[in-house]
């Protein structure tokens, strides 16, 4: 028989099986709480709090254009974040580097997971560029995504140097995203 102990009341209760209350002190059957024809009025079974996914953020060191100060910012993994949404994210970055991956504030020790993290910089696209991209996409010459991306192994990436693949050509950043 399944019994639920309620020591603070001095009773053992088995409402599911018999609907009767048993006294813990003298162990005799008292009157049933409900007749056998009625459904017992049971309290809801407490549930354990759901286990939420740990908050994962990516730590970046970013230098704003025209500055020599490298600042540390954390952005949520798998979310696009605009420079307006997070204090410290510059609209015109000079350089950036991936620093670490954090789960609920603690550094992730899985080096392989950090090495596979990719961060994208989505620049604001001018109407002329949008038109050109649209034409190239329709003709099959372009896949439509020109956002510069970087990983841990890239080290410090410079967005102002014309000879590298991260060159933003002075464009403003619409959003940052890491996955």
What would the mean pLDDT of 67-83 be, rounded to a whole number? 95
Class for the domain spanning 56-178: mainly beta
Q: Kindly report, residue by residue over 18-65, the tens digit of the pLDDT.
A: 333 433 444 444 444 444 455 445 445 444 444 445 789 999 999 999
Average pLDDT, the chain: 76
Instruction: Give every CB contact of residue 51 below 8 A, 6+ residues apart in sequence.
Output: none
What backbone phi and psi angles, to 5 degrees, belong to 131?
-65, -45
Residue 70 pLDDT exceeds 50: yes
* Confidence grade of residue 4 (pLDDT, cut at 50, 70, 90): very low
| Sign of the dihedral through C-alpha 97, 100, 101, 102 | negative
Residue 179 pLDDT exceeds 90: yes
* Confidence grade of residue 126 (pLDDT, cut at 50, 70, 90): confident
What would the mean pLDDT of 1-21 be, rounded to a whole number? 41
All structural domains of the chain with their residue ranges = 1-36, 56-178
Q: Kindly report, residue by residue over 85-101, the tens digit of the pLDDT.
A: 988 899 999 999 999 99
What would the mean pLDDT of 143-168 be, rounded to a whole number? 90
| Span of 26-35, 120-129, 134-143 with lowest mean pLDDT | 26-35
Six-digit token string for 147: 């956002």
pTM (predicted TM-score): 0.64
Contact 146, 137 (CB under 8 A): no
Residue 110's pLDDT is what? 81
Residue 75 pLDDT exceeds 50: yes
* Confidence grade of residue 161 (pLDDT, cut at 50, 70, 90): very high
Q: 136: helix, coil or strand?
A: helix
């Amino acid at each position: 028989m399944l019994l639920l102990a309620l020591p603070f009341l001095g009773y053992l209760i088995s409402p599911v099986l018999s609907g009767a209350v048993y006294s813990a002190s003298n162990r005799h059957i008292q009157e049933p709480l409900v007749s056998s024809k009625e459904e017992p009025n049971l309290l809801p079974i407490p549930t354990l709090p759901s286990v939420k996914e740990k908050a994962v953020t990516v730590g970046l060191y970013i230098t704003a254009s025209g500055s020599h100060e490298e600042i540390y910012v954390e952005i949520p993994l798998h979310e696009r974040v605009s420079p307006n949404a997070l204090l410290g994210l510059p609209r015109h970055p000079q350089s950036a580097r991936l620093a670490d991956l954090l789960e609920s504030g603690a550094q992730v020790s899985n080096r392989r997971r950090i090495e596979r993290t990719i961060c994208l910089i989505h620049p604001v696209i001018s109407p002329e560029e949008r038109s050109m991209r649209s034409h190239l996409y329709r003709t099959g010459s372009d896949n439509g995504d020109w956002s510069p991306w970087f990983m841990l192994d890239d080290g410090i990436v410079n967005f102002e140097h014309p000879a590298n693949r991260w060159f933003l050509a002075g464009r403003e950043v619409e959003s940052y995203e890491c996955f």
